[in-house]
């Protein structure tokens, strides 16, 4: 669905979920502003227990002049009803009869969606989704709207600590917001009641010394409280991991922290919601996620959330063999067969073409952000999954053959480079040329269980492989290893 699809309607109402948070209010405000700019008068409303009273939300409504109105008993709507940050008929939003319905949301699908729907559960906030839709529609937010969207993302990702997708990071870094208002909203984010909720959660947390992790539950609360409690727990001696969760009508929100290189918080967050329960992700040390109540009941009927989360934490810790190439070769190098790298087109961009004289760049891609040092002799390679890595020109010439044509590939998130001096986001694909690797032979075997590999070139971050992925050895050196996913391996290698 595109925002222009909504312009075919004249009588439009925008509904936030009940007892809205900053993300829902910001999303509704963005849609209201877009429609108003195109001559459509829309009504923005929410239902629930009572009008908004939480200090930060009340201040957000006032200082940004958001037109959201409290309607405890909304009448049927004879035009288009758009639900934002929720899905029509879901348990967290008052169901309003309407002639036609549209949905804009970032949560797991809960039921049948209408024809007009945009659902992206991999995003950390609905504000990110509508920001991207505005960008696609050629609509540039002003300072007030930019501030609202940034604050919606801030609150839904625990102060930006749990951003899950590069689009979330793009919104976080987007210019145009009012820094003074944002600082003011962040400062009043917690109430005395929130502090009491955090205190009770800390008093009741469970410590598991054999895994060096803590698990704690809070009363229904703002997601930021989960991060606050988990950050406090991580300051305790002997705690390497913390998971804090809160149960609401629609499901469980949780926050994850880790302080050990053997477990990334983002991996643990995904593991907690795997198997169709929900979604999770974030950074190596801070992450979070959501588990749908309906999916949890379907898969674990009658079970306690704490018991299932503890079980999944233990299963994740036990699921992976650790291999540190810096400590020596693989203990068991049997089972490897010889493979040849296929001539799959990949991309390259000489850095001096886009960034003459630059030394430091930040590369943004689906896997995360990396910082690189670039000079006149540096090229940026774009792999078949959109991953980006630097290579010296001499090594490029020895390893690849240019094809003399542009790279014609599409990726879930086209990689870009952040010019940190100017704050600009520069897409790489319009400047990328295609090339193929020269014939290289490797040895590889399919994994029959999980493995985390610390490579020679990165002692702090592992490459994770699950059963069915491939462990690849350069040449015959059992101390030079890396992981290739099961989907990517047959596209890149053929057995000799």
pLDDT at 423: 66
pLDDT at 278: 87
pLDDT at 460: 80
pLDDT at 68: 97
Residue 301 CB coordination number (10 Å): 7
Are residues 126 and 85 in contact, defined by beta-carbon separation less than 8 angstroms? yes
pLDDT at 422: 67
Positions in the chain whose pLDDT score sits under 50: none
pLDDT at 187: 86
List of domains in the chain: 3-187 (3.90.1640.10), 192-318 (3.10.310.30), 323-340+440-495 (no CATH), 345-430 (no CATH)
The pTM (predicted TM-score) of the whole model is 0.71
Residue holding tokens 């829309």?
42
Q: Which tens digit of pLDDT belongs to each residue from 441-487?
A: 889 999 999 999 998 777 788 889 999 999 999 878 888 899 999 99
pLDDT at 421: 67
């Amino acid at each position: 669905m595109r925002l222009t699809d909504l312009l075919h309607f004249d009588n439009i109402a925008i509904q936030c979920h009940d007892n809205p948070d900053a993300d829902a209010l910001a999303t509704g405000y963005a849609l209201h502003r877009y429609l108003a700019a195109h001559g459509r008068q829309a009504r923005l409303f929410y239902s629930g227990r009572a009008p908004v009273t939480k200090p930060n939300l009340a201040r957000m409504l006032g200082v940004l002049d958001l037109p959201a109105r409290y309607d405890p008993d909304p009448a049927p709507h004879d035009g288009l009803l758009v639900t934002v940050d929720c899905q029509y008929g879901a348990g967290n939003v008052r169901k309003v009869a309407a002639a036609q319905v549209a949905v804009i949301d970032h949560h797991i699908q809960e039921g049948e969606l209408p024809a007009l729907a945009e659902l992206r559960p991999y995003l950390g906030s609905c504000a990110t989704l509508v920001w991207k839709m505005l960008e696609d529609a050629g609509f540039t937010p002003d300072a007030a709207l930019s501030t609202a969207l940034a604050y919606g993302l801030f609150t839904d990702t625990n102060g930006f600590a749990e951003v899950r997708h590069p689009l979330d990071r793009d919104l976080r870094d987007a210019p145009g917001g009012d820094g003074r208002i944002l600082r003011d909203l962040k400062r009043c984010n917690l109430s005395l009641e929130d502090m009491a909720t955090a205190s009770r959660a800390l008093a009741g947390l469970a410590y598991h010394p054999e895994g060096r992790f803590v698990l704690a539950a809070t009363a229904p609360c703002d997601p930021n409280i989960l991060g606050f409690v988990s950050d406090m727990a991580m300051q305790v001696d002997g705690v390497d991991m913390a998971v804090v969760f809160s149960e609401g009508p629609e499901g469980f929100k949780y926050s994850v922290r880790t302080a050990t290189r053997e477990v990334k918080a983002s991996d643990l967050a995904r593991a907690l919601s795997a198997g169709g329960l929900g979604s999770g992700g974030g950074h190596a040390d801070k992450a979070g996620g959501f588990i749908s109540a309906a999916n949890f009941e379907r898969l674990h009927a009658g079970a306690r959330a704490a018991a299932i989360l503890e079980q999944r934490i233990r299963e994740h810790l036990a699921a992976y063999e650790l291999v540190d190439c810096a400590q020596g070769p693989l203990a068991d190098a049997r089972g490897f067969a010889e493979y040849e790298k296929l001539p799959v087109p990949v991309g390259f961009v000489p850095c001096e073409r886009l960034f003459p004289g630059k030394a430091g760049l930040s590369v943004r891609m689906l896997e995360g952000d990396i910082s690189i040092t670039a000079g006149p002799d540096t090229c940026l390679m774009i792999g078949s999954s959109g991953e980006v890595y630097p290579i010296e020109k001499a090594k490029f010439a020895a390893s690849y053959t240019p094809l003399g044509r542009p790279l014609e590939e599409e990726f879930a998130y086209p990689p870009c480079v952040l010019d940190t001096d100017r704050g600009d986001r520069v897409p790489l694909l319009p400047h990328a040329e295609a090339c193929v690797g020269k014939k290289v032979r490797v040895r590889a075997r399919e994994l029959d269980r999980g493995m985390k590999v610390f490579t020679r070139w990165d002692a702090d971050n592992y490459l994770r492989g699950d059963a069915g992925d491939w462990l690849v050895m350069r040449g015959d050196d059992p101390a030079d290893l890396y992981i290739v996913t099961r989907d990517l391996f047959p596209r890149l290698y053929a057995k000799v």
